[in-house]
Amino acid sequence: MTPAENFLEQWMNNFTKHNEEFLDSILDDHVNFHSPVLFKPLPGKDLTKLYLMAASDTFSLGQFKYIRKILDEDQLCLEFETMIDDVVINGVDLITISKESKIIDFKVMIRTTKGLQKVQERMILALENLS
């Protein structure tokens, strides 16, 4: 099993559980998080964890599902779908992991414009609630 396959198994068992300890265990201290609505990547574990926790509050995790998985040795491309209100959200998580199976880069891309706007609205509220 490749490092990406091992990581994917952990991720799939935990990503919907809103578990800060899990995120602490899989995020590298120097991880970069690329939000679909921010120009620059967010550096560091604390900001990445904040955004991932807000995302778990934002996305309708009961409807959230990964519909395609592409794995390389240390990279994952996970296409997802969910709904927020009446808007279908389609996107991709691009994850790079270190030799220690910690996330060193996490990029989220979302389509369509309407879906991106809906995610942005909900993320703002979720981040305010976590602050």
The residue ranges of every structural domain in the chain are: 3-125
Residue 56 pLDDT greater than 90, yes or no: no
CATH of domain 3-125: 3.10.450.50
pTM above 0.95, yes or no: no
At 69 the three-state DSSP class reads: strand
**CA 64 to the chain's CA centroid:** 12
47 and 130 Cβ atoms separated by less than 8 Å: no
94 and 32 Cβ atoms separated by less than 8 Å: no
At 80-128, the pLDDT tens digits run 999 998 999 999 999 999 999 999 999 999 999 999 999 999 999 888 8
